[in-house]
Amino acid sequence: MNRIKTVFLLTCLTLLLVAMGNLIGGQSGMIVAFLIAGGMNFFTYWYSDKIVLKMYKAREVSEADHPDFYGMVRRLALQANMPMPKVYIIPSEAPNAFATGRNPENAAVAATEGIMRLLTTEELEGVMAHELAHVQNRDTLIGTVAATFAGAIAMLGNMLQWAAIFGGGNQDDEEGGGLLGSLALAFVAPMVAMVLQMAVSRSREYLADATGARICGKPGALANALRKLQMGAQAVPLKDATPSTAHMFIVNPLTSASMLKLFSTHPPVEERIARLENMASGKV
């Protein structure tokens, strides 16, 4: 269901992009905006692993450095029939973890020192299986596609605002109200695109939970880990966390009680826990 939801959301982003491009005056503006956004996100996609790992001062470790943690990741990768990713540790007491890399052959998983102190071995296995699931499901690629469409729509929104103000865009609206309609769409469409992009991110989190639980075979352990991480992330915030990287972590490092669900990169932890507990009890 989460895969189907992702396809539906990406289709909605595509249709919104086409509608915006046509309203501006054909496909030329849409193509330009798409190419610009695509170029920016292609760079991010290709170099995101190096950028984010450096941002959080992650240090690559070997089996000799951390035999237990490295061995855990290797066992999980074998169980998932995946290439061994690079393994990193982040020098932070904030309990969190993430995966990055453009494909399974060029992937990395990272965990903070805090998460390894907070969780039991089984719980940490659940977390790392969740991160490997993101790699296996190619969520970096899917997130980049969603960001490209959303970015292009935002650019078209800016173009449409100027076009509407100076009389551009399609002039076929003989009923009147074309200017107001164009301006309204110019402001609303980018917001709708952002909501759709966040929905894609949330659907991939649910899928990574389910896939990760199957990889490690312990959905209950992952549920327990999420319960601890929700409290731990609030008690010890991750320094230097940014909105542009928040979606990568297993729990949102920018968690706020006032954050609207529609604009959140992560589903409610309570809902994630409930789904995993249903898996553990055989209800799913």
Handedness of CA 257, 234, 227, 74 (dihedral sign): positive
- Dist. CA 59–CA 67, nearest whole Å: 15
Amino acid at 136: Q
Known catalytic residue: 60?
Answer: no
Two tokens at 214? 């199957």
Tokens 């290439």 locate to: 83
Two tokens at 117? 């102190």
Q: What is the dihedral of CA 246, 249, 253, 255, to 10 degrees?
A: 80
Catalytic residue among 123, 131, 270, 277: 131
Active-site positions?
131
